[in-house]
Structure 1
């Protein structure tokens, strides 16, 4: 990953020969932290194949491609290997990139998962934050066979799981199995068979696996393997954080309304902080808030 920094926002004028590609770190105020995302603020006329090529060239877990329209911004997200239906950290990154150039306010993202409302704001210290509100979340059961396979691939045992937070799959724009471990040490010792997990996830349509440890009633640690995107681990996963919020609400694991903090990326040296707001209304989307900063120079 490109960890170079820049002290100012790149130019909005695309270089000759291709669209301008911005690089931002989401869910952190530090360019060396958070989750890097590629951003193309105007992808008008780009083919699907060209978007995939750009995402592969950027090399981050996702790149967001925005096409302005009368009904909002039409957004597509690509990992280096494939398109994904929704990506939280690339939404936060692209919204901040947009706000730096056009000012704070409200945006509607038209995504493959449905409309996602986004709000941007600038703090008194000059830093930028964005809040996305997910599509309506939902959860589903995780079969005994899939759970056994997940545990085997991860090197976990059933005794590693927190009995108060049972395994489920959760959705807030993309599907994620949610496994909660009772041990922070177990979460820190993540080591898995990437090919085997990727094969299972492709068969089930899962985007990442949300591995979680509950520190206290309002604080969670998370790690997110992402083999379908060709990435061993995501340092911050906004879609999974939103799905976790829906899981907590639907299972009655938090008293709602609530705001919880998800800490991610610490074990891989890219600390990230995701603020997850969970409304009481079961038909309401989950809000995920985070900072973003430029993480590298713009490029073609």
Structure 2
């Protein structure tokens, strides 16, 4: 079993966090620090969208039309911040070999969040949301190539964050007027766009929901799924079991992001118990990646977030003991 985090962390010191992550977890990752201007998950995705121009409005990011030369000042600042973070990673990870994770907002969450030039969400326009997914795939490919150049010993893994996809599938995303909802997207349609963005590197899709659409993720080519174990309902666990038995890696969110820290055995128990109830092979449990329940940006301090990351390896030991019991 190995450990990693899910992207976001508190504070604004990318250098210090990069040092910590190269030591604290088995799969280090390029941190997102949303306390910084343009440091949130949406801004990072906008920075990668080199084929689409966007600007930042009071309501959030909005496409403006045109291509890179017409990028707004906000988009250029987001790109500059990403480049600075990569400079730090290149310096501190000099000589590093092993897995390294990059996080990016997935195409459906972007479509449900970013607006068209005329208003309303990209989700409202079939052609625009495909253009967005294609641009995201191209930008991600360039981003991965850049990181491979800077850290040549890294085996890259991509994490796509799709918190909004369950609402997209359920037809629960409000329209601009707020009086109605966007039409639901069916499973095959969701798979089609997601699959455009899963071919660059082994891809984990992260969704903290009671019943994350695991089947959509695996059909789209995800090699791993990241979930908050405390939220999963029975149908969610059934889909997890099918995916794990088919070879998908489970990134199990076991350490809470806020509140009192559990002891390792308390944190490990929900996973061990459900594994046994589902009749899953204990050997498969040893392949699980242990993570916090979600991103740690809401932690009250960097030291608190670090304590939660430090707990992960002790949870691994507890899960291992439970698997052998």
TM-score (normalizing by structure 2): 0.26
Which one has a larger percent helix, Structure 1 or Structure 2?
A: 2
Q: Between Structure 1 and Structure 2, whose CA radius of gyration is higher?
A: 2
Considering Cα pairs closer than 8 Å and 6+ residues apart, tell me whether 1 or 2 has the greater RCO.
1
TM-score (normalizing by structure 1): 0.28
Which one has a larger percent strand, Structure 1 or Structure 2?
A: 1
